[in-house]
Structure 1
Amino acid sequence: MTAALASAGMTAELTRGGGKIAVAVAGVETADLDGLLPGVAFEAADVDSMGPAPWTTTEPSAVLVVARTPTDLRRAVTLSGELPAASMVGVIVVESPPWCDAPGVPLSPGLGRRFLRDVGVSRYGSTGWRVKARFSEPRPAGEVAAAVARSFGGHHLSGYPLPMAGLAGPGLADWRPGDPNVTVADRQGPVPERSGVSTADLAIRAVPPGPRWIDERVPAVDRRPSVTWERIGSPGGYQALAGAQFAPEAVPPVDERSVNPQGFLKTPTRPVADLLQRDGRWEIRLEDRTLTRLPASGGVTDADVGRLRRLRGVRVAWRPAHTGPIAAVRAVTALAAAGVPLLSDPPPEWAARALGPELATRLTAATEEDLADDLRREEHSVRLRRTALTQHGTMARWRDLAARSGIAVPAPPAISVIMCTRRAALVPFALGQIQRQRGVDLEVILTLHGVPAGTPEVARAVAGFDRPITVVEADASVPFGVVLNQAARHAGGSFLSKWDDDDWYGPHHLADMMLAQSYSGAELVGAASEFFYLQQIDLTIRRDWTSETMSNHVAGGTFVVARSAFEALGGFRPVPRAVDVQFFQDLLRAGGGIYRTHGLGFVARRAARGRHTWQEPIGYFLARAKEQWRGFRPSRLMEWEQ
């Protein structure tokens, strides 16, 4: 690491003011800073051991944040409130994965824009980035670090949903990565106030705790930053592995906004690698080559995941030779959340407790033969990532901790499913597809385009539907885009889902869309249009689409869009066809993002006759087929039985 830092150097602008520089490091050894800042006076603090007021230098001439990866930078953001102010602020990210955007400094209004005098963004080595910002007067360096971290991803806001978090003691940055609203307190408390109100709803406290927690307003949950095998082997140490003390909530969460399925490759070029122990730490090796070496904490970064994307999978060995049980579970959970296909024997009992029963079972569900098949491999990846993200992601972890502490938090956002049809006979089928959706709060806006609501099959299907449903009637002459906008006016959800009346959807379709939105930050998410059932010739085909990526297009019958983005554009254009494409283009031009997740939970139907707004001959689909099967053959994720 020293050579990498020294090779890129640091600009004279950051150091020419004289005085001492305050340096925060994340994922980088402080000893490596001598090569970065030769002959410069600086005071360094590591975010993994940082507590309140970590510097003696209260008015540094500049502040520098050095992070190994964007994931590490997000850990620094967690403690950004402890960074001092300066008129010159620099951020260095040593390496980043290929799917990360170039960083910038989109400062929040009122916190720095009017003071900004100069900003520069340049490459740092071959895969890293360097950002320098100069202000007319000292500004909080944490605001710059948060802005740079935010610009690497798709989220316009850095914050997380409630509860507001407090961290009491060092070594806890992993518990709320990337959240600049975190409050840092001493181990015993209290949590600071703002406007007479506590700045946190729930605190994580490092143990051993020392003094008694004194803040009666804010519950505190004690957690160990690390539990080593040496500590467990000492007298009484095995209590750390007993019962609920080593359950999923004892493990730091996965930073889903950084370590997630983005960049997944459907057709890898390398075989299965091994997660092995070496010198007390885990590393992933392919034959005699180390692809990545994990830190003692077991934390996995986006750059680590980037090195593994071309692998067919990773084989996990559960021998107790790595740093400790929490580090082991944390590493495996993060790899699963990233969608890395994993092979594993049944985890030991201590690991199974911390993984949770569902993820522990998922790990053992695939074989070498499954991973050799591209479709079976991707199905295994989707099941792993879905389970790991929904049970071990940051948002899931804090909602669970809040529930255990008796803290009320708002319900997850609701979805309004907009389904427009001209075909009364398909209404029972379409509502049945919506009925089987799991893991989401939804309502249906059924829009009948030239179809009377009193039509017998429509009336029976609506009466038998046991979720909230609103029926909207529109004349057949009204353009499709206008009809959809009329339906949207009746919607009450925070997200709008467009639904086709004749296509098949897996039971996790909407949940997967919301999961993709949570880690991508895109205003609109949808599935790749991979599977088609060509009804005319009774054939299922699969097309080759890249998924888990920012895109300019998704399957029109799958997308979910934030209501705020939909309203900002005024809805769909009042045209009879191509409403999806028009909306996608308008959203992109306006600065919104579109994310395409996997297409295994959706099958489009193409009949000999019909009223599809997108009509192509059978040959069009056959010419683009990567695979084909006789009959109706969806992915196993559809959970479909004819």
Structure 2
Amino acid sequence: MAARLAPVGMASELARMSGKIAVAVAGVEVAGLDALLPGVAFEAADVDLMGTAPWATAEPAAVVVVARTSTDLRRAVTVSGSFPATTMVGVVVLETPQWCDAPGVPLSPGLGRRFLRDVSVSRYDKSGWRVKVRFSQPRPAGEVVAAVARSFGGHHLSGYALPMAGLAGPGLAVWRPGDPNVTFADERGPAPDRSDVPTADLAVRAVPVPPGEGWADPRVPAADRPAEVTWERLGSPGGYGELRASALEPGSVPPVDERSVNPRGFLKTPSEPVADLTQHDGRWEVRAEDRTLVRLAASGGVTDADIGRLRRLRGLRVAWSPAHTGPVAAVHAVAGLAAAGIPLLSDPPPAWAASALGPELSARVSAATEHELADELRREEHSVLLRRLALAGHGTMARWRSLAALAGVATPAEPSLSVVLCTRRADLVPFALGQIARQRGVDLEVLLTLHGVSAAVPEVAGAVAAFGRPITIVEADSRLPFGSVLNQAAAQATGSYLSKWDDDDWYGPDHLADMMLAQAYSGAELVGAASEFFYLQQIDVTIRRDWTSETMSDHVAGGTFVVSRSAFEALGGFRPVARSVDVQFFQDLLRAGGAIYRTHGLGFVARRAARGVHTWQEPVGYFLARAKEQWRGFRPSRLMEWEQ
């Protein structure tokens, strides 16, 4: 669906300037700029085609970036090193989803804040934004663009973990969206140097299939990705043989920008029926009855604004007929929709799509039925399974780790977790450690904190001996307040993240992996699950409460949260109080400028026994009155993988 371009307020100021204006577009046709910038003399460049010298004008009067969505703006960040210095920078984003944060301009000290003269942020049309920044001396425009793009999301830093990325040739911004540290070379190299060291650890280049000329830089490995794999080309003589020769696999597909396209904004109760992902004029579009809700880019790239339009749908049927742009674009689109948690329905994907999606995601795309999506719980379970696989297999960091592994390039270890389990009840230690032992997909250690309990108690000693992961015993005096005991344990933790764990609650085997995934795409200092499922032990009933998930919030379930060690230490840990330590910590974090993200609650069930057992004490009636659904007996989500 084409965005309507209306003139922006800065157009008159730009028109009065002497000299040309350099305009970069992302997700917007250059031909439409006359409507946006009437009367302005400009030179335009498309970020998806941009090389190292996109404008002939070396010192433009101003630099303006026009992006259809904030997802598109992140591709402009990737090429922002090519933007010249200037005294005025404008950024216009035509459309954002309702959950998108308002932009600010948190300029880094290195940009030269002392030269800042004026910053204005205002609405553009109904859901877009317009940012204008003016300096007293020319400053690098690319750094302003990166700062604006960063402010739309929860990540305080624009960069990614190693490997440092190089892009060999134009049109590759989609391979490393939002990263201002990317460097560029031509298709043969070499990667540029900085202080006599290559600026890239690994380069990606798009080449015809089969690969063309070799890469000329022996210091930096290059990963060749297929270019221009279109149905028109594949339909020519020998085309399908070429498709087979290209051996499409997940690494052939540009990654999903998980910091922009992710589960945020998921709706548990959709208001519209299942729609169709079908083709029209060589492009995929989403149609509901006679309406076109979304028309995807020719590249197959999905944006946050596209996802915003699809959130109200119960699901989306995928038609795999080879009539859209091409196989790579098709898989790119489906992977993006899955990463956002859009519930997908599909027949088994054709062989070329199954290979590029990967076996697990390919199977999951076709695993649900329309009947199952009619049930809200089953629909959300399908959504969570889709997003896990797509983000873990097709996200930007996952893609670069995979490429690095194939090229033999070392990458940092995945972040480690320290699970802090504090208990006064020796009889629950075997159960609690058993829940932690189920966790998969994470590197963890346990700080078993015995609050007035001896490690020599048989239940404790036996459970510790049987636990197969690193574990440290912390014995604390029973007279110490709960917050002080937690801090005592945290002081001995070695992980990059701290996880708070309850001794009597149930956790799915992917609980911690889901928390780390949510942290990666949200950028929040603290993530946790929604408090949805409760087992009321006194009356043998399971309830589900109605909580919004996949959103920034002011609280999460206290027994589920994961917080970065740096944020925890910046606040000095928990307050030394006996109760409400979680709530106090949440409030302190928010007031200090941190963020809390609440992900889904399907991997956690809180136990409520008799009053007096828990630090949070409410009668059974309190929970029953707030139940959206209830069942007799213990009835967790399927994602708990629980068998009694």
Change (3 A) 1:240 1:133: farther
The alpha carbon displacement at 1:554 in A equals 0.2
Partners in 2 of 1:226 and 1:378 — Cα distance?
36
The one-letter amino acid of 1:103's match is P
Q: Which residue of 2 aligns with 1:382?
A: 384
Q: 8 Å contact 2:530–2:601 — kept in the other structure? A: yes
Q: Which residue of 1 aligns with 2:200?
A: 200
Partners in 2 of 1:243 and 1:235 — Cα distance?
14
Q: Which residue of 2 aligns with 1:538?
A: 540
3-state SS, counterpart of residue 246 of structure 1: coil
Q: 8 Å contact 2:226–2:246 — kept in the other structure? A: no
Note if 1:103 corresponds to 2:107.
no
Deviates more, 1:542-551 or 1:290-299: 290-299
Q: After superposition, what is the alpha-carbon deviation per residue over 1:246-303, rounded to whole angstroms, capped at 9, x for unaligned?
A: 0010000000000000000000000000001111111000000000001111110000
3-state SS, counterpart of residue 157 of structure 1: coil
Partners in 1 of 2:322 and 2:12 — Cα distance?
48
Q: Which residue of 1 aligns with 2:20?
A: 20
3-state SS, counterpart of residue 630 of structure 2: strand
Q: Which residue of 2 aligns with 1:422?
A: 424
Q: After superposition, what is the alpha-carbon deviation per residue over 1:54-81, rounded to whole angstroms, capped at 9, x for unaligned?
A: 1111110100000000000001111010
The one-letter amino acid of 2:455's match is A
Partners in 2 of 1:443 and 1:623 — Cα distance?
38
Partners in 2 of 1:399 and 1:24 — Cα distance?
30
Q: 8 Å contact 1:552–1:588 — kept in the other structure? A: yes
2:553 to 551, 554, 570: 551
The one-letter amino acid of 1:256's match is E
Partners in 1 of 2:377 and 2:267 — Cα distance?
12
Q: Which residue of 1 aligns with 2:269?
A: 267
Q: Which residue of 2 aligns with 1:69?
A: 69
3-state SS, counterpart of residue 92 of structure 1: strand
Note if 1:333 corresponds to 2:346.
no
Partners in 2 of 1:624 and 1:549 — Cα distance?
21
1:580 to 564, 579, 582: 582
1:617 to 616, 619, 623: 619
TM-score, normalising length: structure 2: 0.98
Structure 2: segments with no counterpart, 5+ residues: none
Q: Which residue of 2 aligns with 1:562?
A: 564
Partners in 1 of 2:231 and 2:600 — Cα distance?
39
Partners in 2 of 1:8 and 1:629 — Cα distance?
55
Partners in 1 of 2:289 and 2:6 — Cα distance?
31
Partners in 2 of 1:242 and 1:443 — Cα distance?
45
Partners in 1 of 2:631 and 2:363 — Cα distance?
30
The alpha carbon displacement at 1:243 in A equals 5.8
Q: Which residue of 2 aligns with 1:283?
A: 285
Q: Which residue of 1 aligns with 2:52?
A: 52
The one-letter amino acid of 2:170's match is P
Q: 8 Å contact 1:4–1:125 — kept in the other structure? A: no
The one-letter amino acid of 1:140's match is P
Partners in 1 of 2:377 and 2:145 — Cα distance?
40
Q: 8 Å contact 1:480–1:574 — kept in the other structure? A: yes
The alpha carbon displacement at 1:5 in A equals 2.3
The alpha carbon displacement at 1:241 in A equals 2.2
Alignment of 1:30-429 (within 5 A): 30-208=30-208, 211-242=213-244, 245-429=247-431
Change (3 A) 1:353 1:2: closer
The one-letter amino acid of 2:48's match is D
Partners in 2 of 1:247 and 1:80 — Cα distance?
30
Partners in 2 of 1:36 and 1:139 — Cα distance?
25
Partners in 2 of 1:225 and 1:214 — Cα distance?
19
Partners in 2 of 1:168 and 1:615 — Cα distance?
60
Partners in 2 of 1:405 and 1:450 — Cα distance?
52
The alpha carbon displacement at 1:226 in A equals 3.4
The alpha carbon displacement at 1:227 in A equals 1.2
Q: 8 Å contact 1:14–1:90 — kept in the other structure? A: no
The one-letter amino acid of 2:602's match is L
3-state SS, counterpart of residue 119 of structure 2: strand
The alpha carbon displacement at 1:326 in A equals 0.6
Partners in 1 of 2:15 and 2:2 — Cα distance?
19
Q: After superposition, what is the alpha-carbon deviation per residue over 1:434-474, rounded to whole angstroms, capped at 9, x for unaligned?
A: 00101000000000000001000000000110100000000
Partners in 1 of 2:223 and 2:319 — Cα distance?
31
Q: After superposition, what is the alpha-carbon deviation per residue over 1:486-544, rounded to whole angstroms, capped at 9, x for unaligned?
A: 00001000000000000000000000000000000000000000000000000000000
3-state SS, counterpart of residue 242 of structure 1: helix
Note if 1:523 corresponds to 2:529.
no
Q: 8 Å contact 2:95–2:128 — kept in the other structure? A: yes
Partners in 2 of 1:307 and 1:292 — Cα distance?
7
Q: After superposition, what is the alpha-carbon deviation per residue over 1:358-399, rounded to whole angstroms, capped at 9, x for unaligned?
A: 000001111111100000000000000000000000000000
The alpha carbon displacement at 1:3 in A equals 8.2
Q: After superposition, what is the alpha-carbon deviation per residue over 1:558-593, rounded to whole angstroms, capped at 9, x for unaligned?
A: 000000000000000000000000000000000000
Q: 8 Å contact 2:611–2:618 — kept in the other structure? A: no
The alpha carbon displacement at 1:50 in A equals 0.8
Partners in 2 of 1:225 and 1:534 — Cα distance?
57
Q: After superposition, what is the alpha-carbon deviation per residue over 1:75-106, rounded to whole angstroms, capped at 9, x for unaligned?
A: 11110101111110000000000011110111
The alpha carbon displacement at 1:110 in A equals 1.7
Partners in 2 of 1:333 and 1:611 — Cα distance?
45
Q: Which residue of 2 aligns with 1:431?
A: 433
3-state SS, counterpart of residue 6 of structure 2: helix
Q: Which residue of 2 aligns with 1:502?
A: 504
Q: Which residue of 2 aligns with 1:455?
A: 457
The one-letter amino acid of 1:303's match is A
Change (3 A) 1:225 1:126: farther
RMSD of aligned residue pairs (Cα, Å): 1.2
3-state SS, counterpart of residue 99 of structure 2: coil
Q: After superposition, what is the alpha-carbon deviation per residue over 1:208-264, rounded to whole angstroms, capped at 9, x for unaligned?
A: 365431111111111134311011122443244226630010000000000000000
3-state SS, counterpart of residue 572 of structure 1: coil
Change (3 A) 1:621 1:340: same
3-state SS, counterpart of residue 6 of structure 1: coil
3-state SS, counterpart of residue 576 of structure 2: coil
Partners in 2 of 1:14 and 1:483 — Cα distance?
61
The one-letter amino acid of 1:21's match is I
Change (3 A) 1:199 1:169: same
Change (3 A) 1:295 1:474: same
Partners in 2 of 1:303 and 1:453 — Cα distance?
54
Q: 8 Å contact 1:26–1:76 — kept in the other structure? A: yes
Q: After superposition, what is the alpha-carbon deviation per residue over 1:99-128, rounded to whole angstroms, capped at 9, x for unaligned?
A: 111101111112232221111001000000
The alpha carbon displacement at 1:611 in A equals 2.6
The alpha carbon displacement at 1:38 in A equals 2.2
Q: Which residue of 2 aligns with 1:638?
A: 640
Partners in 2 of 1:616 and 1:6 — Cα distance?
54
Partners in 2 of 1:127 and 1:39 — Cα distance?
25
Q: 8 Å contact 2:123–2:129 — kept in the other structure? A: yes
3-state SS, counterpart of residue 604 of structure 1: strand
Partners in 1 of 2:175 and 2:509 — Cα distance?
31
Q: After superposition, what is the alpha-carbon deviation per residue over 1:344-367, rounded to whole angstroms, capped at 9, x for unaligned?
A: 000001100000000000011111
Q: Which residue of 2 aligns with 1:602?
A: 604
3-state SS, counterpart of residue 380 of structure 1: helix
